Each structure stands twice: as structure tokens, then as C-alpha cells.
Amino acid sequence: MGKVEGIIKSEILRLAKREIRKISVPLGRDVRSLKSVVSQIRKTVMALERFATQQQKELSKRKVPLEATSEEIKISRFSPRLIRSLRKRLGVTQRELAILCGVTVGAIHQWESGMFKPRGEKKGMIVALRKLGRREVRNLLEERKGEVVEKKVRKPRGKRTKKTKKASRK
């Protein structure tokens, strides 16, 4: 009986292996194809991450434009209180606001005291500042301060002699 028993066992084993192969071979193909898809997706994600970091760098380098449409400028109304509250909301001093708008500190003081109102291009800059947040204003201010320092480089004056003093008086 040992021989029949061995034959039955080997036949069962052979049939079991065949059934397992029927199931596992297609699964193996699917696994290989999925691995290649995952690899492609991984490459795409890495490329997109590189592109996103590059775009972030370009955005951080790009200057924040201080522009407003002509319609917004026409509609906008200014009062000394509104200018002062805008400055406080942005967390900037009168000097910093002057740098942002391209005017003097005295002009900002006059706007806030009600002596004068901003007009034209300066009015547009204030309208544009309303749209920005503190962080954007800080970045813009850093850029503008760098520009102002470059502009203020002056030539050193030489000593004035009596002759040059007399010549300048005439």
C-alpha cells in the first residue's frame, strides 16, 4: 500500500503546484507592472518637487508689485485716519511707509495729519498696500531699503577753501 499512497501524495502535490502556478503567475506579472508604474510615479513626483522648489525660489526673488487698477484708485477714498490705520495694520513706521511709497517722511506726516492727500501714483501705491499683508510688506520693504541704500551713495566732499567759499557765495 505504500506505493499507492506515495503516488497519491505526489499527484496531489503536482496538482496543488499547478493550481498555485495558475494563480501566482498572473499575480507576478501584475506585481511587476505595478512596480514599473510606481517607479514612473516616483520619478514624476521627484521632478514636480524640483519644479516646485524652483518656482518657490523664483517667487521669493520676484518683486511684489505695488500696482492698483485705475478703477480701484478712483473708487478709493482716503482720510488721515485710514492712512494711519493702514500703517498700523501693516506694522510699519512713517519712515518705512515713506520708503514703500517713494515719498518723504514729511509727506506721510502731512497725509496722516490731513494737510494733504495722496494723489496719482502715490494714491495707487497706498491702494496696492491695502491688499498686502505684513509679511509681504516686510519683504517689499527689505527690497526697497536695498534700493535706497544703493541710491544714497554719495561722493565725499573735499575741504572747502576760502576761494571756493567765496566763489559759492557769488
- Domain count of the fold of the chain: 2
Identify whether residues 92 and 139 lie together within a single domain. yes
Cell 494711519 appears where? 84
63-92 pLDDT, tens per residue?
A: 556 677 788 878 888 888 988 998 899 999
pTM beyond 0.95: no
Dihedral pair phi/psi, residue 153, rounded to 5°: -70, 115
120-131 vs 80-90: helix axis angle to the nearest 10?
50
14-44 pLDDT, tens per residue?
A: 999 999 999 999 999 999 999 999 999 999 9
Identify whether residues 46 and 103 lie together within a single domain. no
Identify whether residues 53 and 22 lie together within a single domain. yes
pLDDT confidence of residue 121: 83
Please check whether residue 143 lies inside any domain of the structure: yes
What is the rounded CA–CA span in Å between residue 27 and residue 34? Answer: 10
Q: How many CB atoms lie within 10 A of CB 137?
A: 20
Identify whether residues 104 and 139 lie together within a single domain. yes
Identify whether residues 77 and 139 lie together within a single domain. yes
Identify whether residues 75 and 139 lie together within a single domain. yes
Identify whether residues 90 and 146 lie together within a single domain. yes
Please check whether residue 159 lies inside any domain of the structure: no
Domain range holding 115?
70-151
Identify whether residues 17 and 43 lie together within a single domain. yes
Averaged over 118-124, what is the pLDDT?
84
Identify whether residues 81 and 54 lie together within a single domain. no
